[in-house]
């Protein structure tokens, strides 16, 4: 079953998270330590929009299909906490020879978060399809 992405806020917000991570990745190399917060905040705001849209969709899906979505939701919350922790370390060591290593850690955390956002979209899509199949029978 092909999903219609017209007015699909979960899809749009997943794309928003990926874009925010890509923007962070592109700007991080040239950013000063005090600008890291702005970059990570943009990722956080995009993630918040995604999780809000997922909650809205989940409310319309039978509760027995929520588990996979909830697990992916928790992973993303953990990913965001990890990105913040990596950012703090990158800020702390920004004026040392380890600067690039800690920036790399931030980038890795961001990329993991983007992949897990896609996994959340997949979980929501799977639940939508199953819900549609249940309603068709």
- Per-residue pLDDT tens over the stretch 88-107: 999 999 999 999 999 999 99
Residue 3 within any structural domain of the chain: no
At residue 1, does pLDDT exceed 90?
no
Q: Are 106 and 36 in contact (CB under 8 A)?
A: yes
Residue 116 within any structural domain of the chain: yes
Q: Per mean pLDDT, which range of 60-64, 101-105, 113-117, 119-123 is the poorest?
A: 60-64
Residue 137 within any structural domain of the chain: no
Q: What is the pLDDT of residue 135?
A: 64
Domain count of the fold of the chain: 1
Who wins on pLDDT, 42 or 130? Answer: 42
CATH number for the domain spanning 86: value is 1.20.120.330
Residue 136 within any structural domain of the chain: no
Q: Are 56 and 12 in contact (CB under 8 A)?
A: no
Query: Considering the chain, what is the average pLDDT of its residues?
Result: 94
Whole-number percent of the chain with pLDDT over 90: 89
- In whole angstroms, give the CA distance from residue 71 to residue 133: 22
pTM: 0.93
Residue 1 within any structural domain of the chain: no
- Segments forming the whole domain that contains residue 71: 9-131
At residue 110, does pLDDT exceed 60?
yes
Q: What is the pLDDT of residue 4?
A: 81
Residue 4 within any structural domain of the chain: no
Sequence-ordered list of residues with C-beta below 8 angstroms from that of 119, at least 6 positions apart, any chain: 72, 75
Sequence-ordered list of residues with C-beta below 8 angstroms from that of 130, at least 6 positions apart, any chain: 65
Q: What is the pLDDT of residue 13?
A: 98
- Per-residue pLDDT tens over the stretch 17-37: 999 999 999 999 999 999 999
Residue 2 within any structural domain of the chain: no
**Helices 36-58 and 99-136, interaxial angle, to 10°?**
10
Q: What is the pLDDT of residue 17?
A: 99
Mean pLDDT of 2-19: 92
Q: Are 20 and 49 in contact (CB under 8 A)?
A: no
Q: What is the pLDDT of residue 59?
A: 94
Residue 18 within any structural domain of the chain: yes
């Amino acid at each position: 079953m092909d999903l219609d992405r017209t007015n699909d806020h979960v899809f749009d917000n997943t794309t928003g998270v990926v874009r925010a991570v890509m923007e962070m990745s592109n700007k991080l190399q040239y950013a000063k330590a005090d600008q890291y917060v702005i970059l990570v905040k943009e990722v956080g705001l995009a993630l918040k929009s995604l999780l809000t849209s997922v909650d809205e969709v989940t409310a319309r899906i039978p509760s027995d299909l929520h588990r996979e979505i909830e697990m992916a939701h928790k992973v993303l919350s953990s990913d965001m906490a990890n990105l913040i922790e990596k950012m703090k370390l990158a800020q702390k060591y920004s004026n040392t020879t380890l600067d690039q290593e800690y920036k790399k850690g931030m980038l890795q955390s961001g990329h993991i978060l983007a992949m897990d956002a896609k996994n959340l979209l997949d979980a929501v899509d799977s639940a939508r399809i199953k819900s549609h199949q249940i309603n068709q029978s």
